[in-house]
Amino acid sequence: MTTNTATKLQHELNSFMGLSIINLVCSALVLAFGAYFLMPNIVEMATTQTVTIERVGLAVLGAIAFYVAIRWMLSVVNIFSTAEEIKTNLTEHKKNNTLDDTAITGLIVNMTAAYRENKPTIGLMTKISKIAGACFVIAALYTLASIITGVLSGAGFWTTITLVANMAISLAVAVACFIIPRFFGKYSAVWDIRLNGAAKAEAELEKQLGATGQ
């Protein structure tokens, strides 16, 4: 029983940390995407002293992506560190052979408390991930437009290949950004059941505190 629960705890922590890493990678790509659109357009406008709607639009899109990526990264780091702490505790208990009933319940309590605290952050990350996905779709469409324009105006083979690769990366990240909310949804569904169960058990726990204490 204890071994099964410990294995389940380990699997869930591994999955959650994997999900955090996927988020970290995506947020880093969004950061790069933001810088890619923000900086060259600002430099271009500053050096040529010309402001066009297209450049302003791309710079604004880049700035939004940059800001969103920073917020996203900070949220990921926050929830990752909590999961890492719990995982370290579990590993130490296993190493020291102290993984008894109390230790397991302690880890479950920590995970429950961590989810209770991170629930709003997970909600925010789900929204940010969808926004990032939309940004990458826009980037892919923009690149596609550049490819078509390039092909029609006789652009070189390598230029076209580079743009196609760029578009493929943007699309792949967009897909990842739209998949992340599904995983968070699965994670939240499981933990919401546990939180509801814990809330329902409170009446019984209260009774235990009152009844046995008299």
Choose, by CB under 8 A, the member of 82, 129, 143, 170 that binds other proteins: 82
The distance of closest approach from Cβ of residue 149 to other proteins in the complex, given in angstroms and rounded to an integer, is: 39
The distance of closest approach from Cβ of residue 43 to other proteins in the complex, given in angstroms and rounded to an integer, is: 40
Choose, by CB under 8 A, the member of 16, 33, 37, 136 that binds other proteins: 16
Hey, how many other C-beta atoms are within 10 angstroms of the C-beta on 111?
20
* Token pair recorded at residue 41: 């357009």
Choose, by CB under 8 A, the member of 106, 131, 144, 150 that binds other proteins: 106
The distance of closest approach from Cβ of residue 167 to other proteins in the complex, given in angstroms and rounded to an integer, is: 27
187 lines the binding site for other proteins (CB under 8 A): yes
Contact segment (CB under 8 A) with other proteins among 63-71, 125-133, 139-147, 185-193 equals: 185-193
Contact segment (CB under 8 A) with other proteins among 43-51, 70-78, 90-98, 109-117 equals: 109-117
